[in-house]
Amino acid sequence: MVSVGVLASGRGSNFQAIVEHQRLGVFQGVDVSVLIYNYPEAPVKHIAEKHGIANHLVGHKNVDRVEFERQIMSILDSSEVELVCLAGWDRIVGSEFFRKYRWKVMNIHPALLPSFGWKGLNARYVHEAALEYGVKITGCTVFFVDVSVEKGPIILQHPVRVLKSELELFKNRREDAIQSLSDRVLIHEHRIYSKAIQLYADRRLRVYEAVTSGKEAQANRVVSIDLHDDWEKKWNERQRIFIESQKTAWGAKAVEAAEELI
């Protein structure tokens, strides 16, 4: 059993989706054991309370960053957490935290990294930038956290087509266009994050160094995924119940729009 700790700062929609995968029995060998949040008013705490998940407030204001992270690590240790998942966590991971949980901290970003992954670009601003650039394809990325912002070995990605109607809407009703694209990407965020967690729990992920060729050769960290058998087929079968719950929550048409073939 892999114990998972989640760090979140806001409403917690990705945390909710992870918890739903546990509640619906999609996960195997995964226990979402603790939530840590850093704002007293963060709505995410209510999700943990509703589902009986241990939750702790660790405020970051007026606290040294090293001490802040040590408090978090102490809670994670007491819950015997092996995998840490950032879900809308608005703090940068420090070097001490990274060393302790090297390749055991995941995050999700609402774009196809490395595109739209620069510092300060998060949440709605990612989708705004995608629409401003007029890209035809966007999506979401789950990755292992490195010490740099929105960088690290990529685990999973899922593409989402930007609709022509969203690009047209963006000219006069920017917020409506941004919300439309955000919702369609979020539907897939809620699926692939839990898939990455299950891959980790099943020991299917390995980070290795890949050296690029050429005059300026450098080492890049790459995630290898072991899918030599019917793992993915079994996962898709189990996750079907979560996808049906999405149709209830979002509406069947919204989910179908998010699933449009590229």
Q: For residues 197 and 191, give the distance between their C-alpha atoms in angstroms, rounded to a whole number.
A: 10
What's at 128, amino acid-wise? E
Instruction: Give me the long-range contacts of 224-233 (CB less than 8 A, separation at least 24).
Output: 225/155, 225/199, 231/202, 231/204
pLDDT over 80 at 238, yes or no? yes
Q: For residues 42 and 26, give the distance between their C-alpha atoms in angstroms, rounded to a whole number.
A: 27
Pick the residue with more confidence: 92 or 204? 204
CB-based contacts of 260, cutoff 8 Å, min separation 6: 161, 163
**Mean pLDDT lowest for which of 43-47, 87-91, 103-107, 148-152?**
148-152
User: How confident is the model over 167-224, as pLDDT tens digits?
Assistant: 999 999 999 999 999 999 999 999 999 999 999 999 999 999 876 666 555 668 899 9
Q: Which of 21, 56, 109, 127 is catalytic?
A: 109
Burial 232-258 (b: 16+ CB within 10 A, else e): eeebeebbeebeebbeeebeeebbebb
Q: For residues 69 and 58, give the distance between their C-alpha atoms in angstroms, rounded to a whole number.
A: 9
Counting residues of the chain whose pLDDT is more than 70, the rounded percentage is: 95
User: How confident is the model over 37-87, as pLDDT tens digits?
Assistant: 999 999 999 999 999 999 999 999 988 989 999 999 999 999 999 999 999
Whether the Cβ atoms of residue 106 and residue 29 lie closer than 8 Å to each other = no
Give mean pLDDT, residues 138-146: 95
> Residue 133: what pLDDT?
96
pLDDT over 90 at 260, yes or no? no
Q: For residues 101 and 4, give the distance between their C-alpha atoms in angstroms, rounded to a whole number.
A: 12
> Residue 40: what pLDDT?
96
CA distances from 36 to 29, 73, 200 (A): 21, 10, 21
Q: For residues 47 and 60, give the distance between their C-alpha atoms in angstroms, rounded to a whole number.
A: 21
> Residue 148: what pLDDT?
66
Annotated catalytic residue 109: yes
CATH class of 2-202+230-258: alpha beta
> Residue 200: what pLDDT?
98
Q: For residues 206 and 225, give the distance between their C-alpha atoms in angstroms, rounded to a whole number.
A: 7
> Residue 62: what pLDDT?
86
Whether the Cβ atoms of residue 36 and residue 6 lie closer than 8 Å to each other = yes
Q: End-to-end distance of the chain based on CA atoms, in angstroms?
A: 37
Q: For residues 42 and 46, give the distance between their C-alpha atoms in angstroms, rounded to a whole number.
A: 8
